[in-house]
Structure formats: structure tokens, C-alpha cells
Chains A and B, each alone.
Chain A
Amino acid sequence: QAVVTQEPSLTVSPGGTVILTCGSSTGPVTSDHYPNWFQQKPGQAPRTLIFDTSQKWSWTPARFSGSLLGGKAALTLSGAQPDDEADYYCLLSYSDAKVFGGGTNLTVL
């Protein structure tokens, strides 16, 4: 089974920009992995922010965007707000299974 890797923790200043990445042990992440990004706050179920690399849901704040960057999937947060402090998970799709990354704990400080 593939291993999906994320930064364990990142810190961003309020109003700042941060990029979270998502890599695959099988090689470069491409659009064929249909990268998804989720936000999870304590005591809540994960909430999807991005699907199919860069597609947003109606509830996704405009400050979040998804892309492919240097062989990885990337989630960019531009203009961080205190409410963005949370765990972020990526999910990659393989031929017959999906695999979550270990998550990034984002601190806004």
C-alpha cells in the first residue's frame, strides 16, 4: 500500500501564506490521484475543502486553493485566519484504493 506523506506541523502568522504538501511513495502526485484536502477541528468529523486537485466546494473559503507543485499535491492558504488553526489531511486515489496522509497540524500564531 502506498504511503502518503505530509508535514507533521506548520506554523503561519495571521494574514500570512502557507503551503501544505502531500507526497506519494509511488512517485510524483498527478491529477490522476484526484487529490483531496480535508480540514479537521477537535471533536469534529473532517470537512472536505478541495477535490480533484483544485476544485472547491461551495463552502470552501476563497483563501484556500489546491494545486500540484513539484511532484506533490499542495494546499495553499493565503491570508490565514485564527479560525484556520486545525489539522489538514490529504487523500490520494490509487487504482483500487484511497490513502490518507498522516495530517498536518497547522498553527496560526
Chain B
Amino acid sequence: QVQLQQSGPGLVKPSQTLSLTCGISGDSVSSNSGAWNWIRQSPSRGLEWLGRTFYRSKWYNEYAASVRGRITVNPDTSKNQFSLQLNSMTSEDTAVYYCATRYLDSWSQGALVTVSS
């Protein structure tokens, strides 16, 4: 089964950009049948799908309306990983962040990201 290893900071200052990466083992980020998701969870917002990237002869991205304009999900084929960038962070973005596979059958361990000065 595919395994995902997430990394990134646990603390981000307000207005700054969050950058997380998700390393993939057992599959390729460039797979024509794969898709790579970012999801977060907080007590106030519940589970929230943020966005995904996938390759079907070219790269595609899809983003949740709630974060569209602030989010970028990018593949890194050289490292077989994908990343999340979320700009203009506020306290509302404090959450546990996860990466997950196409059918959400494999998830990373999750990491709490706190937005605080």
C-alpha cells in the first residue's frame, strides 16, 4: 500500500505562507491513475478538503472554493512528492493537516499547524 510522509513547520505567523510537503512511497506522483490530496481538520471547520494535483498527460489542479486564490498544490517529480502552499495564514487556518492518496485510502500521519505570532 502507498505510504505518505508529511513534513513542514508546526508554527506559522499570521499573514505568512504555510509550506508542507508529502513524500510518496509505493507509487509515483506522475502516475496516470493517481491523484494527491491535501486535507485539514479543525474543531471549528471539521474535515475540509483543500485541493489536489494529478497527472493525465498533463498536470491538473483542483482547489476548494474556501481557499482558492490562496492555495497552490504542486508536484515534485524529481523527489516523488507533492507540496501545499497556503498564503495569508490566519488563526482560522490552525488545523491538523493531512496529505492523502486519490481515493483517500492512505493518509499521512497528520501534523498540527498553529498560526500564532
Contacts and interface: CB of A to CB of B under 8 A. Distances in A.
Interface of A: 1, 36, 38, 45-46, 48, 51, 57, 89, 91, 96-100, 102-103
A98 to B, nearest CB: 4
Nearest to B103: A51
Contacts of B104: 36, 38, 46, 48, 51, 91
B110 A45 contact: yes
Contacts of A51: 103-105
A45 B109 CA distance: 7
Contacts of A100: 46-49
Q: How large is the interface on B (under 10, 10 to 19, 20 to 34, 35 or more residues)?
A: 10 to 19
Contacts of B52: 98
B55 interface: no
B64 interface: yes
A48 B46 contact: no
Nearest to A102: B46
A98 B65 CA distance: 10
B33 interface: no
Nearest to A38: B104
Given A45-B98, A45-B109, A48-B104, A97 B47 contact: no
Contacts of A57: 105
B105 A103 contact: no
